[in-house]
Structure 1
Amino acid sequence: MAMRRGCLLAVLLALALGIAAAVFVSGWFGSGPLEKEQAFIVPSGGSLTSVSEKLAEEGIIDSARGFQLRSRLFGGGSPIKAGEFRIPAHASARQVLSIIQSDDVIRRFVTVPEGMPSIMVQERLMAQPQLVGEVAVPDEGSVLPGTYDFERDEPRADVLRRMQAAMNRTLDELWAKRSKDLAVSTKAEALTLASIVEKETAKPSERRMVAGLYSNRLKKGMMLQADPTIIYPITKGKPLGRRIRQSEIQAVNDYNTYSMVGLPKHPITNPGKQSIAAVLNPAKTNALYMVADGTGGHAFADTLEAHNRNVEKWFAIRRKRGEL
């Protein structure tokens, strides 16, 4: 009788252990309590214990203690990563651990279009609510236009440093491939001329031609007479929103190429890679003049006489549009 009772107890104990083991395992592979997808932030330096408690507080897992035990038993030795992660609805504990051990952090993006002046780059960075810290207006021409990813709570200064490092790398790479007999002799001059090319044409196919024209003017000691250089000291590169005044055309300052020979003191915007490349490998042309052609591009001319004819055509187009 006692032997039968012992056997029964052993069976019941084994059954209980089996059920407990099944429950323990199902707590690792089974669906979690999260009702809908949400972002979860693993703080820098967070431990498994603190992160488990945070996961439980946010309703992603049922039990912090259970998650810790199962993670140590089933999760392998990979460390958890700092960052922001996307957790799907009803993710199992196994899925949750795998996600926060991965490099698949949520990335956010900020874009600097070609030709965006530095004052607007600073405004764009400051307008990103997921970034932290202050950032001053960067030096004009120091930022490479493009799309940059960032993580939540990343310092704005770090994102700006990446933008500026990208410009330095790009300028170095293109400078090494530059043509001979350029109108510019330094990287700084190339960047300044590229900023004018960037602002003078919206057509990528024209960049090398515009660069060739301005290179010719520099070599001949002619004024560049680029309208954007009039506007820059007035607005720091933002749109003027009106026609340029005669007094502004005649203004003497470090940027206005209607009142000075040579390049402005500094760039007037942040030029893109293609404008820099155009300046360092300009089109071989005799063109010295250009005027809008009504299609978004320009009509180029080698002589003042030909240029004046192009100007008349442009005025005719504007009169037909009712602009004059």
Structure 2
Amino acid sequence: MWRSIASNALTLFVVVMVAAAGLLAWGREQFTGPGPLEQSICFRVERGASLSAVSRALEEQGAVSDARIFRIGADYSGRADALKFGSYLVVPGSSMTQILESLTAGGQSTCGREVNFRISVATSEVVLRELDPATNRYVEVVKFDPAAEAAPADYVDVAEADDIRWRVTLAEGVTSWQVVDALKRAEFLTGEIAEVPPEGTLAPDSYEVARGADRAALLAEMAARQSAALAELWAARAEGLPYDTPEEALIMASIVEKETGIAEERRRVASVFVNRLEQGMRLQTDPTVIYGVTRGEGVLGRGLRQSELRRETPWNTYVIDGLPPTPIANPGRLSIEAALNPEETDLLYFVADGTGGHAFARTLAEHNENVARWRAIEAERGEAEAGGVQD
């Protein structure tokens, strides 16, 4: 009898163990396998939220199949207490383990709202955007110029939220004075700026920051990136260039930056200036004259006068030989590359061609023909504007 009972007990034990192993395997598959989510969502973890509340919300929004399995998996992996406040993009088919990794990794939120403070040559603007989970694209909510208008209510209402991502974007060709002037108006930053950084030493780029970040520290990061880029590109420069130092190459890059916004033209524009330097010709470029007038403090906002073209300043390349003493803006990486690896051409002149690009020439006669065509285009446009004709 006891032998029969023992045999039955052993059988029951084996059955239970097999069932437990099967349940464990099923739970592991549920935790690591593809999840049920069919459309991306932006999932928010509230500050101080419990694992129980988060797991229930994930199940309610269709991101996990079973809140209990998510909790058990979090406990088993030792991350039950590691949830980080913020908003997180959960894509279709995300497994529970992938979702848990995202919600406990920390750092900036991966979806939700973003404020991008964009500093460009003509203006600076604050842009509030929100990620559309379905398309994984940001949709603009509000935009304003802090130098010209008060922050709109739509921005003020959300600017204090903890899960907003903050970004400062510096466009190519902005002067150091313009950068400092704009950063002083960035209310989400803190700290004083002791002095304007040397012209050309700030890298045009996009910088992710935290609310309350120090302005001086951000400028230091901009300078570090520009220094690193210049050192890297100087090491890979073409042979025989008319620059003795990386700083001279940076001056040339800033001129190229201000002369053309077309990426495909930069190396050709650089070749013109290199050829002129090598032949002992003056650079004769308007952006350097403008810098001599404004010293980089704002935009001239009008055409140059003949008196300004004749006025001698350290930057007026119509009257000085060689390069000006400093850059005239902060050039981007592509312009630095162009200055250090220009096209090999015999071009000496260029002028606007009416399409946003330039017409290049080898001789003064060719250049004069291009100039005449450009003047005719200018005249036609002037008549059209005077007659109220619109594109």
TM over 0.5: yes
1:271 paired residue number = 331
Superposed counterparts of 1:180-259, under 5 Å: 180-237=239-296, 238-259=298-319
Q: 8 Å contact 1:183–1:216 — kept in the other structure?
A: no
1:302 aligned to 2:362?
yes
Offset of residue 239 of structure 1: 2.1
1:146 paired residue number = 205
Q: Distance in 2 between matches of 1:184 and 1:137?
A: 26
Q: Distance in 2 between matches of 1:229 and 1:302?
A: 22
Q: Distance in 2 between matches of 1:30 and 1:315?
A: 70
1:113 paired residue number = 171
Offset of residue 30 of structure 1: 3.6
Secondary structure of the residue aligned to 2:174 is: coil
Secondary structure of the residue aligned to 2:331 is: coil
Counterpart code for 1:110: V
Structure possessing the higher relative contact order (Cα contacts under 8 Å, 6 or more residues apart): 1
Counterpart code for 1:102: G
**Identical aligned residues as a percent:** 46
Q: 8 Å contact 1:288–1:303 — kept in the other structure?
A: yes
1:124 paired residue number = 182
Could you list the structure 1 runs, at least 4 aligned residues long, displaced by more than 3 angstroms after superposition: 74-78, 98-101, 104-107
Offset of residue 251 of structure 1: 1.2
Counterpart code for 1:193: M
CA distance change for structure 1 residues 87 and 286 in 2, over 3 Å: closer, same or farther? Answer: closer
Secondary structure of the residue aligned to 2:242 is: coil
Q: Distance in 2 between matches of 1:310 and 1:268?
A: 26
Offset of residue 233 of structure 1: 2.3
Q: Distance in 2 between matches of 1:182 and 1:146?
A: 27
Secondary structure of the residue aligned to 1:130 is: coil
Match of 2:196 among 137, 144, 147: 137
Match of 2:52 among 19, 29, 33: 29
Match of 1:103 among 98, 101, 107: 107
Q: 8 Å contact 1:117–1:236 — kept in the other structure?
A: no
| Higher strand residue share | 2
Superposed counterparts of 1:34-49, under 5 Å: none
CA distance change for structure 1 residues 133 and 220 in 2, over 3 Å: closer, same or farther? Answer: same
Q: 8 Å contact 2:271–2:345 — kept in the other structure?
A: yes
| Higher helix residue share | 1
Offset of residue 124 of structure 1: 2.2
Counterpart code for 1:225: Q
Q: 8 Å contact 2:188–2:211 — kept in the other structure?
A: yes
- The alignment yields a C-alpha RMSD, in angstroms, of 2.8
Q: Distance in 2 between matches of 1:234 and 1:137?
A: 18
| Long gaps (5+) in structure 2 | 1-48, 56-74, 89-98, 110-162, 387-391
Q: Distance in 2 between matches of 1:27 and 1:259?
A: 71
| Long gaps (5+) in structure 1 | 1-25, 33-70, 89-94
Range 275-284 or range 118-127, more displaced: 118-127
CA distance change for structure 1 residues 261 and 102 in 2, over 3 Å: closer, same or farther? Answer: same
1:168 paired residue number = 227
Query: Number of residues paired by the alignment?
Result: 249
TM-score in terms of structure 2 length: 0.59
Secondary structure of the residue aligned to 2:239 is: coil
